[in-house]
Every structure is written in structure tokens, then in C-alpha cells.
Amino acid sequence: MTAGTPAPPAPPAPANHRGRQIAIAFGIVASIIVIYALSLIAVHLLAKSAPALPSVDLSKVEAEDSVVQVRLEKLDTVANRLTVNVTVYPKDSLYDKNFGVLTTDAAVRLYPDNDLGDLQYPVGKSPAQVSTTIVAHGDPANWPFDTYKTEVIAADVFTGTGASREKAPARVEATGKLDGWDATVTRVHDPEDANPDVQDDLIITLQRSKGALIFDVGICLVLIALPVLALWVAIPMALGRTTFLPPLGTWFAALLFAVVPLRNFLPGSPPPGSWIDQAVVLWVLIGLVSAMSLFIVAWWRSREKKPPKRA
């Protein structure tokens, strides 16, 4: 070093630089944890669904009234069928409380008609749950905003046999809960009843709970992110702004084949051809195919041209 030549600047202390990197990494991890925890809390608060329909309170039923309990079990949205378990609680004169059995043959006829017709409950046995299906009107193509509603559900109880057979109207009660659905009951007056204050019939309405809707939105966002990421990588590569990477071909194929499993993973299994397919799934596939086409264009431009072989 000659006289008058300034000394080279001292390199920065590596310890301070490494400490800054550790602090940044720790801040990123902490931010991810906080965002994840806040998202769980938000989903828990927003995804609260309606409570289950209450059980039948037999203490409030008069001794000479029969009750038909309809317990919700399953909803087939495509077939518009609601599966229910039906149990009859006959009036006291038809029921042996000491042994918990019927003192006469009984049958329940639901209105509107169900798939099993009259539900039979034999004498000398405890009334068991009988499974049947009723119609629930709704349009599954409106997923996930579809709503299903039954017709007015009424019931008659037939007791005895032969000439002593009797028919009496029964009060219908709905109970239970369907996973992913909010159920509400509307009481309806039977026009054949002279007392206008009596509302023994009901209508069941089912709509998707908020928790299922939040999950649906999340899956749709994942589907939309697939073509966005693919195009973000493929466009600069096709324009020659980034280096062509052949291994990305398998990544594009994985994105393309992930669409159908994600679509089938949607809660409620929307029917094929519904609006979600037209508005989201179809355009996701178009975006991914476009990205793969740009990837092939980039490959064509960067391929190694070999001279033709001479004979």
C-alpha cells in the first residue's frame, strides 16, 4: 500500500447481518402463526350454525293426543329426497306405560305420500323408528345457495283392526339435525280442524350452514389460484424473459389433474353442469391449458436444433 492511498473499507460484521436475517425469519413465522390463529377464530365465529331441532316434550302433550315424531337423517339434494325416521307416540289409551308397548295395532299415514306408504307399528311391541323418505323441493344447480322445503307434513294415526279400526289426526313434531344444514320448522294450521288456533302440521326448510359456505369459498379460491400461478410462470417464459425450465412440465400436469379432485371435494357434491362448473371450473381448465400451451411455445423457442442426419 503506497502512501496516501486510502485503506479499503472494512467489511460489515457478519454477526450483525446474520442476526438481522434471523429476526426477519422469526417475524415471518410469527406473522404466519398469528394470521393462522386469527383465521381459525374468524371461521369459528362466522361458521356458527343453527341449533338442532328440539326433542319432543311429551309432558306438554295432552293425554288424548297422538304425536308423530319426524327425525331428520339425510338429504339427497340431486334426488330431492329427505330421509326421516318416524316414531309414533300414541295417546294414553293405546299405550301400556307399565311395559312400554302398544295395546293395539297402529299405523301412521304421512301426508304428502312417502315411499313406504302406511308405517306399521304392531300390538305388544314398543313403537320403533321407521325410516322413510319424503319430497324436499329445491334446485341443486343453485349450489351452494340452494334451499329445500317440504310440502305441508301432516299425519293420521290408524288404530285397531277390522270394523273397530279408527282414524285420528296426530300432531307432527320435527327433531334432529343434518350436518352442514340449518333446519327451520314452520307450524301450519290443518284446514280440516275447526279450531283455528291448532297448528299440528309443519313445513321443514333446509339451507346450507355458514360453515359449509366458508369451506366452499376456500375451495373455489384454491381452484382460481391454480391458473393464476400457472400463467404467472408461463407468460414470462414464453416471452423469453425467464429461463426455460423443462421440469416445470410435470408441475403444469399436476395442476391440471388437481382440478377434478378439488371440484369433487366441494361439500354437497354439486351436480355436473351447475353454475360452479360454468363460472369457475371450466375457466380454471381453460387457464391451465393456456398456461401449458405457453409452456410448449417456450420449449419450441428454446429447443436445441440439431442438423439433419446425412444418409
Q: Is residue 26 over pLDDT 70?
A: yes
Strand partners, 87: 69
CA distance 106 to 120: 6
In tens, the pLDDT along 46-56 reads 666 677 788 87
Quickly state the pLDDT bin for 1 (edges 50, 70, 90): low
| Same domain for 229 and 100 | no
Q: Which residue has the cell 320435527?
A: 174
Q: What does the pLDDT look like over 197-253, one tens digit per residue?
A: 777 889 999 998 887 788 888 888 889 999 999 999 899 888 888 888 888 888 888
Tell which of 165, 184, 207 closes a domain: 207
pTM for the full predicted model: 0.74
Q: What is the total count of domains within the chain?
A: 3
Dist. CA 224–CA 288, nearest whole Å: 10
Residue 268 lies in a domain: yes
| One domain for residues 154 and 265 | no
- Cα(200)–Cα(68) distance, integer angstroms: 10
**Residue 182 domain flag:** yes
Enclosing domain of residue 67: 58-207
Give the separation between CA 107 and CA 293, rounded to whole angstroms: 66
Within this chain, do residues 87 and 171 fall inside the same structural domain, yes or no?
yes
Residue 149 pLDDT more than 90? yes
What is the pLDDT of the chain when averaged over all its residues?
82
Residues 201 and 91 in one domain: yes
| Residues 90 and 196 grouped into a single domain | yes
What ranges make up the beta strands (E) of the chain? 67-76, 81-89, 95-96, 101-102, 106-111, 119-121, 130-137, 147-150, 154-159, 166-175, 181-188, 201-208
Total residue count of the chain as it appears in this document = 311
Closest C-alpha among 108, 105, 197 to residue 153? 108
Q: Among 206, 169, 202, which Cα is nearest to 72's?
A: 206
Over 90: is that where the pLDDT of 115 sits?
A: no
Return d(Cα 124, Cα 117) in angstroms, integer: 22
For every residue of 161-217, DSSP letters joined together read SGGG-EEEEEEEEEEB--TTEEEEEEEE--TT-S-TT---EEEEEEEE-HHHHHHHH
**102 part of a folded domain:** yes
As a whole number of angstroms, the longest Cα–Cα distance in the chain is 131
Buried b (16+ CB within 10 A) or exposed e, 154-173: bbbbbbeeeeeeeeebbbbb
Structural domain includes residue 307: no
64 in the same domain as 44: no
Do 105 and 227 have their domain in common? no
In a domain, 225, yes or no: yes
Say whether both 125 and 30 belong to one domain: no
In a domain, 99, yes or no: yes
Based on the fold, state whether residues 68 and 161 are members of the same structural domain. yes
Same domain as 185, residue 62: yes
Judged against a pLDDT cut of 70, whether residue 8 lies above it is answered with no
pLDDT at 171: 87
**Residue 40, all three cell numbers:** 381459525
64 compared with 25, residue with greater pLDDT: 25
In-domain check, residue 8: no
Looking at per-residue confidence, does 203 or 271 come out higher? Answer: 203
